[in-house]
Structure 1
Amino acid sequence: MPVEGYRIAADETFIDERTIARLYGIDAAMAEMFRIPSLNVVKISFPRPVSQGSIHDRDIHAGQHHVPLASLCLPR
């Protein structure tokens, strides 16, 4: 049985590739979403703007990539 958080995140009317594109300033074709119900996981993938570990990489472990998602208002 999916947990509530997964149910919300897996809902394509709440979040999809177009939403990710808007939040992260990328082309929607670059975003991929993987919904894995058996694990209650939604994985979002898109190319990094700079190479990981390069001199211009300010977030080597991508630990702050969740911040734009936090701006979404959850459905009631």
Structure 2
Amino acid sequence: MIPQQLAEKVLFIYDKAINKALAQKAKNKMYFKAEKLRAYRHCDNVWTFLMERVDFRDSIRVNRVKFVACDGSAKLATS
């Protein structure tokens, strides 16, 4: 098992790298429409949306989906 401090550092570096890669390389946009928004929350700068009967444009339809979104701006990232 790796030490907790090392695990946290690895996750932090991974988060920074994936955010940078998505910002630079991902050009796709996804559109969705839900029949029902069951709940939404904002806590510690994290949004969570719980929706039912969601249609994704040109993609798939799912019965239920949960989104969690965090502010990935550089001003919040600390090392």
- TM-score above 0.5, yes or no: no
TM-score (norm 2): 0.27
Larger Rg computed on CA atoms: 2
Q: Which has the higher contact order (CA 8 A, sep 6+)?
A: 1
TM-score (norm 1): 0.28
* Structure with the largest fraction of strand: 2
